[in-house]
Amino acid sequence: MIRIAIAGVAGRMGKTLVQAVADRADDARVAAGTTLADDPQAGQDIGLIAGTGMLQVAASTSLDSCADSFDVLIDFTSPAATLTHLNACRRQKKAMVIGTTGFTAEQKQQISDAANDIPIVFAPNMSAGVNVSLRLLALAAKALGDDVDIEIVETHHRHKKDAPSGTALRMGEVIADALGRNLDDVAVYGREGISEERDRKTIGFATIRAGDVVGDHTVIFAGNGERLEITHKASSRMTFASGAVRAAIWLGDRSPGLYSIDDVLGL
């Protein structure tokens, strides 16, 4: 039985994660959770906060204060909060699943450094479908090569702060790697005004923030006379939450290291 802690239990994703763990009652349980210090729900039962029923576990405002209660932390909060939790897990020798997006290169390096001491699954998207689509994107990029224009379009709810999404950026990285390019050199983030015609070696990104869309990603490979589109649409946050819980259970007996969802899925 893996004892799981959830960061930000009062948030949209935090509540969904509590529900996802509750669905795995045979091999995992919610053992701890955190809220912001000024959250009115701090100290309340995590199950009541998430709407799953009483769990007899109170939400804490400090991860260190409940470190003895859990084995793995799942974190989908914000870059700054995640790094604070990362340092706490590193001190306490606790495993961590990180689904937060929007990290800088320097912040990603901090995660890599922490993986020398604790096991970490770090992925911008915990969905099995998305990670299968990454394999398809690499295949399409290698097959179509320089004969197509490549554009990535992503849509998320109006509350999402980082853009493009971590998943869209990961898709771009996979495609660029397959083509022997560096994404930093070829990425184009939005188009405006009058400029030269499109450079075929570039990879374009378009971002939409609207309504309550959980997450849609489409990669377009457009050539002369035909167009291939690979799309993934998430209709529920439970998709990501279930993947994260699966990763937390998988981490239960792992050695320190930085792992991906590919590792969890055996890809």
d(CA 82, CA 100): 7
76 has which bridge partners? none
* Cβ-Cβ contacts under 8 Å for 61 (sequence gap 6 or more): 34, 35, 36, 37, 39, 42
Please indicate whether residue 201 is annotated as part of the active site: no
Check 15, 85, 156, 217 and give the catalytic one: 156
Contact 11, 255 (CB under 8 A): no
Tally Cβ neighbours within 10 Å of residue 114: 20
18 token code pair: 């509590």
Report which residue type is found at 119: P
152 has which bridge partners? 205, 219
Check 160, 201, 217, 232 and give the catalytic one: 160
Contact 31, 3 (CB under 8 A): yes
How far is C-alpha 221 from the chain's CA centre? Answer: 24
Please indicate whether residue 217 is annotated as part of the active site: no
240 token code pair: 């990501």
Active centre residues (catalytic): 156, 160
